Every structure is written in C-alpha cells, then in structure tokens.
Amino acid sequence: MKQKKKNTKVVQSGTFIEPVWKLWRLSPVMLVIAFVPLISSAKTYDAGMSKFPWFSSNDQWVDIFLYWKGQMLILLALIMVAMLTISVIDAAWYPVWKRIKTPEMLWIFLYLLLATGSAVFSEYRSFALLGSYEQWEGLNVILAYVTVFFYVCLVVDSDRQIRYLCYAVIIGSFIMGLIGTFQYLGMDLFRSDLGQAIMNLMSSRKMKFSFNFSEGWVYATLYNPNYVGSYAALVLPVLLAVALIEWKKIPIFWTILSIAGTCLMTVTLIGSQSLTGCIGVIASLIFVAVIRFPNLLEAWGIKKILLGAAGVGVLITVMCFMFPEQIQFGVNKLIRPTKDYHMIKKMESTSKGLAVTTVDGDTIYVQVTGEISAPVTARDEQQTELELIKDSEKNYYTPDDQRFSMIRFSPKTISVGEEADTYEAVEVSNPEINKAWTIAKVDDTYMVYNALGKLDDLREIPSFGFEKNQHFGDKRGYIWSRTIPLFKRYLFLGSGPNTFTEVFPNDDYVGKTNMNYDGVPVTKPHNMYFQTWVQTGMLSLVAYLFLMGWYWIKSLLLYWKRPLRTFTEKVGFAIYISVTGYLITGIANDSTVTVAPVFWSLLALGIVINLRIKYQEKTAEKNS
C-alpha cells in the first residue's frame, strides 16, 4: 500500500532545516515580549506589612501594572516547561542541547541557585518567594525569567524564528509607543472610560482610578516613567535594525511598522522625562559609532561620517528646542540637583535626653520635663545649659545659641493607639524648609511619633557617601547612601528577592523627612546592581555580572569590524546594543517585571545568534 506523503513545508535556513509547524514553539516567547509588558489590570491584595511602624496601618492595596504581568509571565513559563518536556523526544533537537554547556549557562545557574537560597533562608520568606508590595518580583518571577532564558536558548534554531521574535518586539513596542505618545499629547488611555474598564477587567469590584502623574507625563503601561527609559533603551536598537534591513529579507509592512515604532518610542521616551533612558540610548549610539567606525570609514569615507555626525547634532538641537522642559528637567536631576537645605542631620534617644545633631556636627540635648514653667530644657555637648527663648504667641522655644538658632522646640501632648495613651512630646522643627518631627517621651526613652500615627524608636542610621548631595539623581544620592551600608550584611546570601523595602532603613525618619519621603516607604534602590546585591547577595551579583560580561565581551569580539552582511548578524548586533543600553540604565533603574521579561528574552536570543554565527563559520570552513 502506497503511503500518503506528509504535507510539511520545509524552510532552508543556513545549515538548519525547519518545518513550519515548529514555529508554534515560539508563541509563548512572543507573548512574553509583545503582550506581558502591556498588561494593566487591577489586583486588590493584602500587603501584610502593617506590622512595621514605618508602614501604613492599612494593608489593603491595589496594584495595576505589576501583579498580573508577573502572573502571566509565570503562566507562560509553565507552558514553556511543558513544551520543553514534550519536545525532549524530538531527535532533531539534539544539537541545540549542546548550548547548555556554554559558560553563560553556568553563570545563570549559579545566579539562580543563590537567589533561591536567599529566598528560602530569608527572614521575610513569603515576600521573597511570592513577591509583594510595589515590586511583585519574588523568586517565582525570577524562576520565570530564567525559564524564558533557557527556553529561547533551546528553541530558537533558524533565521525565520529570529525574525518572528523581532516581529514580537515591533508589535509590543509599537503599541507601547502609541499609548505613550497619546499620554504625551494629553490623551491618556487610562484616564478614559475604556482605560478604566481595562484596569477593572480582573477586579472583582468596579473601582475608579486616579494617577499622581501630571497630564503629558508618560508612564505608558510600565508603572513608572523611569521604566519607560529602560524599555526604550532595550527596544529601539532592534526597531532600527529591522527598519534598515532590506525589504527582501523583511516584508515592507514590518519595515514601515518598525519605523513608526521608532518614532513613537522616541516621543514616549522624551515624554517620560527619563534621563536614565536618554543616557542609555545616547550611550548606545555612541558605542555603535565607536565599534563600527572602521566599517563606516571603509564604507562611507570621512566626509559622509562628518555629515552624519552633523546631522545627529542638528537632530539633537531640534529636539532641545521642541522639548525644552523635559530635557531641562532631566539635566537638572544630574547636573543641577536640588540643594540640600536641611539643617538637622539625625536624632537619637540617649541617657542625656533627645540628641539633635545638625549637619555641621553640633549636638543639642533636649529634655521634655512636662512642667508648666519650663516644659523643655536644653544643653550642649559639654552639658552647659542653654537658654531657650519663648515665643508666647506661637508657643515655641528657640535656643539662644547661634549653632541651633534655626531649630524650634514646641511642647505638646499626643494620644497614641486605640486606647489613646497620652504622652508628653516636643515638636522639633526647621521652619525655613518646613520640616518637623514630633518626639514623644515614653518612660525614659524618646520615640518618634511618625506621620502614620505610630511610635517608633530613634536609632543611628548608617550612611555612606553623598553627604551634601543627597538630591543627586532625583534623590538617588540619599537612597544610595543608605543602601551601601547594607552590603556587608549580604555577602553570601541576600535578604531575599522582593525584600528591599523590609531591609532598607525605612525608620530613618530624619533623613526621609528631609527628602520629602515622610510617611512613604522607600521600596527600590534605583540601581539594578545594588538591588541584586542586597536581595540575592554579592555572590549572585558576581554571577550576574559574569553572565553579562561574558556575553558582552564575546559579542564585542564577534562584531568588531564584522561587515554585518547577513540578517542574523544585523539582528545579533542590534541585540548586543540593546543589552548594553539596558545595562547602562540599570545604574539608575531597578529590575522590574514590567521590562525584565523582554530583556531576558533578548539576552537569550543574542546568545543564540552568537552561537549560530560561530556554528555557520565553522561549517563554512569545513566545507571550503
């Protein structure tokens, strides 16, 4: 009996033969790249953090841009695991399993092992394992990142598959750019009825949402304008690469869409006012110019290069004139940050009384007596009693000492808790900059009565660096100065994924009030590398940096002076630039579930392309 011939279309791609039906394996990765960053729906949850004195007594919170992104990513990662399990029996897959033996796999395995250990042994294990407030990047999400990474490394095996993943980048970034551009033009999707309906899609009860961002300030679907910068630095090189590839290799529809996406994402980046994102993109362009200079010199000549540089200069000048406010805002954060006008540096409870130390290093010791004639007394470091001048009209006292003349002490009585316990207290204020702290005397100890209506201890808060420049980088100077002292605690294992909020000194009431963070917990270090060190440990950061460094150096050696004639080479180089831009933005931005899934997908794709190019070179050498 004659067998019926199987109707399977075969595509020749380099040295690999790919049945069309195998493209279905890419669907979960394409959804990770194009769809996950766009998810925006409300989730009501119990933060479980009201036990902390520096956190609100209300544990019911609503998340719109983080939780469901993470859950969808985890679901897609599970689908990938199932697909990998089913596909193990495919004999044609055998060669790609050799990719697991590459050094990159060793470093990512070590990173994952240390992240897992940090979560399992974390003091805040539930947060570390499942994620929580303002991050939702627990071990479950990190496992999903690594799953996506391995999956791309094992599945992608042809030019056609690479092209389809580029299409996913184009679709996702085009929609993201469209949403961001409309936000910049004052037509925010999420302030409309349609946007409100989308955000209520996964909610059990209908809610009305409002946003702190002013109209025209772009955040897209990425929760924070800073993350728009990271996303733009990641996708723009790929968009430009596809836009410049010949139409014979990329259909004209995708070329046009990538050009439109490039324009939309550029407007979105400017509208986000993310200086970090702009630096990442510009640094990437400069890097391209440096690494490709020998090739450009050979292909174009010095005159065309100078004309191109002049064109870029004109474009930057035009952008400065078109978007002066956004550019000025971004530049000021770095070059001309707000000055540190605060006078009070720290307060502690001591046996001598409440110790108030100024930024000049002078300390005044205050006692709350509760007496009518002298409710507050003060002494200096030598225990010399200081005269307090009373303002009868406003009932505050000012030390008759030039060192402390800008500090006022106002006696008061406070009630705390459901039983309304009453305590004598003093309000310490620096009126010139409108900063004040209420300090209660509890037995013989002085405790801060914070903005959340809770009593908490006053303690020495370690800090390092940025002593007189805490507003640097939009207050990153302050956050970094309090984060660096945490490093020595987390050399081997970190505090656990998603636990930065819990271990950061959020009880730094003096420092936070000086920075206008009074009553607001600091949830991120605004530095991906600091975040990794604190949450999963220094060793995990070393593994992460080795993974990135190994890929970066190998790519540099591969693409340096390479003509980039093939489609694969051009996309591989574009991804190399994307990864470089993202790593640069990581200096001032965090890892987040809004952007990181795209990064891990592209990083894995970049590694696959590099291996593919090397494989094709070796094959060509053998056949020649």
4: Cβ contacts below 8 Å, ≥ 6 apart: none
Closest CA relative to residue 343, chosen from 329, 326, 328, 362: 362
CA triple 13-258-186, angle to 5 deg: 155
Pull the structure tokens for residue 444: 């013989």
Alpha helices in 488-590 (DSSP H): 500-503, 509-514, 528-536, 538-559, 567-585
Averaged confidence pLDDT in the chain: 87
- Cβ atoms 184, 271 nearer than 8 A: yes
Closest CA relative to residue 602, chosen from 153, 64, 88: 153
Q: What is the pLDDT of residue 98?
A: 59
The letter for the amino acid at 480 is W
Q: What is the pLDDT of residue 325?
A: 65
State the number of CA atoms in the 13 A half-sphere of 42 facing the CB. 20
Closest CA relative to residue 598, chosen from 276, 154, 152: 152
- Regions of the chain where pLDDT drops below 70: 1-22, 88-101, 247-249, 295-309, 311-313, 315-316, 319-320, 322-338, 624
Closest CA relative to residue 433, chosen from 344, 509, 358: 344
Q: What are phi and psi of 428, to 5 degrees?
A: -95, 125
Measured CA to CA, the distance from residue 237 to residue 34 in angstroms comes to 16
Q: What is the pLDDT of residue 317?
A: 73
Q: Which residue has the tokens 């060509």?
A: 620
Burial 70-84 (b: 16+ CB within 10 A, else e): bbbbbebbeebeebb
What is the SS3 assignment for 154-222? Answer: HHCCCHHHHHHHHHHHHHHHHHHHHHHHHHHCCCCHHHCHHHHHHHCCCCCCCCCCCCCCCCCCCCCCC
pLDDT tens figures, 103-143: 888 899 999 999 999 999 999 999 999 999 999 999 999 99
Pull the structure tokens for residue 148: 């996506």
Q: Which long-range contacts (CB under 8 A, 24 or more apart) does 292-299 make?
A: 294/561, 295/561, 295/562, 295/563, 295/564
- Cβ atoms 458, 87 nearer than 8 A: no
Bridge partners of 442, per DSSP, are: 445
- Cβ atoms 209, 190 nearer than 8 A: yes
452: Cβ contacts below 8 Å, ≥ 6 apart: 53, 54, 55, 56, 57, 519
Chain-centre distance for alpha carbon 231: 10
Pull the structure tokens for residue 219: 């955040």
Dihedral sign for Cα atoms in the order 466, 471, 231, 578: negative
State the number of CA atoms in the 13 A half-sphere of 398 facing the CB. 11
